[in-house]
Each structure stands twice: as C-alpha cells, then as structure tokens.
Amino acid sequence: MTGASEHRAGFIALLGRPNVGKSTLMNALVGAKIAITTDRPETTRKAIRGILTTPDAQLIFVDTPGVHRPRTLLGQRLNDTVSQVMAEVDVIAVCFPADEKIGPGDRRIVASLAQWPRAARVAVVTKTDTVRREALAPKLVEVDRLTEWTDVVPVSAEAGSQLGELTEVLSQLLPRSPELYPAGQRAEETPEEHIAELLREALISELSAELPHSVAVVVEEMSPREERPGLVDVHASVYVERSSQKAIIIGRAGARLRQSGTRAREQIEAYLGKRVYLDVRVKVAREWQTSPKELGRLGF
C-alpha cells in the first residue's frame, strides 16, 4: 500500500480496429465479464468502463467500438464515440493483434493519435498465444516503428499472459490521484444495459455474416416476481432492420430464438445470481442503422 499522495488513478482507453481483442483484454485485466465479446467485428457499440482497483492505483479502462470505415450512420456514430473518449483519457492503449498484418486501418488509427497529444500512448500486441515465439519479435519491432510509444507490451488475454506487466506499465502513466470509484465497483453500466448486451451476444453467436450488425437489444422492463421470491422477470425487445431478418432470428418454429434465449438466460442468471424468466420480442425498426430517428430511440 502506498501513501495517499503516491496513489494513482485515471482513465485508459482501449483503441483499435474491430475484432482485435479490446473487450476481451479489458475483461481479463479487470477480472470480470464487463463487455461482451464475439468473433464478429463491430461487437462493441458503446464506450464501456471497466474498473481495476489495486493497492497502488485505480485503472479505469474505457473499451471502445472498433474504428472502421463507416458504411452506415451507426458506424459514423460509433467512430464519433471513440473520438470523444480519446479526448478525455490519460492513456491511449492501441491494440494490434499478433496474428494479423499491420494494415491501412491500423495506420489511420496511429495517425489519428496526433489529435490527442495530452494522452500517453502505449501499443499493445494482443493474442500472442496465436503466434510462435519467433514471429512475435518482428511483430513487436513493426509495431514499435509505427510512432513514438511510451511502451510496447505483448499480451494474451486468452492465456492470461503479461496482464500484470501491462497493468504495471499503465498504472505508472496515470496521474497521482485518490480513487475515483469505490474500491468494490468494477463496472458502470446499469443491470438493464448489461443484460441487453448479454442477450445481444447470445443472438450474435447464433447468426452468420452481416446479420449481427442489424441487431439491437433493449431491456424494456425487469422486475422481481412477487409470488416467486428469487425469480426475476426480464422483458427484452430485439430490433432488426427488416421482416426477413426477423424470420431468421426466430428460426424454424422458433428454434433459433429459443436457443439464443436459453444461452442468454444462463448468463443473466449467473450475473444476477437469481433465477430469470426471459421474455424476448423481436421487432422491426426499419433500417435503424441509417435512420437518425431510430438510432436516437435506440440510444445512439
């Protein structure tokens, strides 16, 4: 335990292309499932805070949507969210996956760092478990050459390797400050927001190709069942863009929706520590990814 004046606390943004492992890394660093993760790009749609409190520091991670060339108004809004986050953080940790080549998307992100000169820059090479040791060294050199980094740290969130080292590097870059959140708090999302995300994750895992992009989830109501203590009723709406997509989500005789619902319910029960009755309604919000009005209603 350090003296009060030595204590550090601050904000660390996780930045990078879609699917590079930002959310998985935040969850591993915080030690809890804060953000949902999938093998599809553009999973994260909001800035999501995850808080790690150590004896010497409080690291407030801000997971962000993957930066990409927007094809829809939603895509533009997501990139705007990222820019807003970057303006407010002490450290920007840019993630590059060990198993992919540095591409134009990465270079654009690195070039954008000039907009936020106040923040320290750290490069994180993620998914190191996917490459052989001999391939990692040249990767680190390649990333190191992209710009002036305070540090370049290889990690594997999956294998749990180098997470302590990364935590230490990031802590040292935070300003001296007392804790900004109560020590026990690890997330900032409301239960309704988190449950909507767990359902979206379960739906995505059952879908292929582009459809995950068309899905949005809102928890409309959540309440303990009066006559059954320990049981919580959760009413959720799943929005898609077209009625053809609604049919796909529901599946033949409702099979797909039942499967996603079961998967989501198990996750929600583990999160709430209670039994859950999950009621899911699939609705069409026509072309919501490109409609300012629908985006507003869905919180984007």
Ligand X SMILES: Nc1nc2c(ncn2[C@@H]2O[C@H](COP(=O)(O)OP(=O)(O)OP(=O)(O)O)[C@@H](O)[C@H]2O)c(=O)[nH]1
Which of the stretches 23-31, 80-88, 163-171, 204-212 binds Mg ion when contact is defined by CB under 5 A?
23-31
Count other Cβ atoms within 10 Å, centred on residue 237.
19
Per CB under 6 A, residues contacting ligand X are 16, 18-24, 37-39, 41-44, 65-66, 126-127, 129-130, 156-158
For residues 129 and 233, which CB has a smaller minimum distance to ligand X in the complex?
A: 129
Q: Which residue has the tokens 């998985």?
A: 24
**HSE of 205, CA atoms in CB hemisphere, 13 A:** 16
Residues 6+ apart with CB under 8 A from 37: 23, 24, 27, 43, 201
Name the residue number minimizing CB distance to ligand X. 66
Selected binder of Mg ion within 44, 53, 156, 167 (CB under 5 A): 44
Per-residue tokens: 77: 């809004």
Say if residues 250 and 203 touch (Cβ distance below 8 Å). Answer: no
Judged by beta carbon distances under 5 to 8 A according to partner kind, the member of ligand X, Mg ion, none in contact with residue 19 is ligand X
Per-residue tokens: 132: 């052989």
Selected binder of Mg ion within 23, 171, 214, 237 (CB under 5 A): 23
How far is Cα 106 from Cα 2, in angstroms, rounded to an integer?
Answer: 38
**HSE of 196, CA atoms in CB hemisphere, 13 A:** 23
Judged by beta carbon distances under 5 to 8 A according to partner kind, the member of ligand X, Mg ion, none in contact with residue 126 is ligand X
Which of the stretches 42-50, 99-107, 163-171, 224-232 binds Mg ion when contact is defined by CB under 5 A?
42-50
Which of the stretches 15-23, 97-105, 107-115, 263-271 binds Mg ion when contact is defined by CB under 5 A?
15-23
User: Contact residues for Mg ion (CB under 5 A)?
Assistant: 22-23, 43-44
